[in-house]
């Protein structure tokens, strides 16, 4: 928890309470339904919570922003971001039912009013969103295909509406067809070794017409 406060010192008491409670909830649920590896659960704040919040270092979300978290797994990056931005609306989607079950229980345990969950493939989700977030569930071309037509046209943020993707390693090949993609190295924000190769990719979605 100290790790979160190190980089986000202005959290309210309520936010601090929720972030503290995360570990207990995940450890409890992980015993019943394994969604986080044993190694990762012991380093939950470093490997999952702070990593998710890397997106917030690139873009803060305004009130009423609609964010779709695709392939959320156990709730990352959606749950930590929902705690950080209580006025924004988060829709967490995963095709694996047991993972969404954990997300629902954690969200309920934290009394998050701004989280909606759906057990489905992203192609089945209706509506449009300001941003689509995810943690490396597929190569960018595949991900862009999955999420086609789901980005709202009107932008209300410093960054244009689009995809905010947590990825690692060399992305030159994967992003070669996306001239507008911008890479933000998380080492610019976090000093821990874990973030040495971790990045946030912002891909604004272009409109034809």
Q: Output the known binding site.
A: 71, 76, 122-123, 135
Q: Please tell me the distance from the alpha carbon of residue 173 to that of residue 116, in angstroms, as a whole number.
A: 34
Residue 77, preceding peptide bond in cis (omega within 30° of 0):
yes
Q: Output the known binding site for S-adenosyl-L-methionine.
A: 71, 76, 122-123, 135
Burial of 15 (0-12, 13-18, 19+ CB in 10 A): middle
Which residue, 168, 26, 147, is CA-closest to 93?
A: 147
Longest dimension (CA), the chain: 51
Strands (E), 10-157: 66-70, 89-94, 115-119, 131-135
Q: What phi and psi values does residue 118 have, to the nearest 5 degrees?
A: -140, 130
Query: Are the C-beta atoms of residues 144 and 203 closer than 8 Å to each other?
Result: yes
Q: Please tell me the distance from the alpha carbon of residue 201 to that of residue 70, in angstroms, as a whole number.
A: 15
Q: Please tell me the distance from the alpha carbon of residue 190 to that of residue 12, in angstroms, as a whole number.
A: 21
């Amino acid at each position: 928890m100290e790790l979160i406060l190190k980089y986000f010192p202005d959290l309210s008491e309520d936010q601090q309470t929720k972030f503290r409670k995360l570990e207990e909830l995940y450890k409890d649920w992980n015993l019943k339904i394994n969604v986080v590896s044993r190694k990762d659960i012991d380093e939950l704040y470093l490997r999952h919570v702070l990593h998710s919040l890397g997106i917030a270092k690139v873009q803060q979300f305004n009130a009423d922003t609609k964010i779709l978290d695709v392939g959320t797994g156990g709730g990352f990056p959606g749950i930590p971001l929902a705690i950080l931005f209580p006025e924004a609306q988060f829709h967490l989607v995963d095709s694996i039912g047991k993972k969404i079950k954990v997300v629902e229980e954690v969200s309920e345990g934290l009394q998050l009013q701004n989280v909606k969950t759906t057990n489905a493939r992203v192609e089945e989700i209706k509506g449009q969103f300001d941003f689509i977030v995810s943690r490396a569930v597929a190569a960018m071309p595949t991900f862009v295909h999955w999420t086609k037509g789901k980005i709202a046209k009107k932008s209300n943020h410093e960054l244009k509406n689009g995809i905010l993707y947590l990825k690692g390693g060399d992305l030159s090949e994967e992003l070669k067809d996306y001239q507008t993609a911008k890479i933000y190295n998380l080492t610019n924000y976090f000093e821990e070794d874990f973030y040495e190769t971790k990045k946030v990719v912002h891909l604004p979605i272009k409109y034809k017409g």
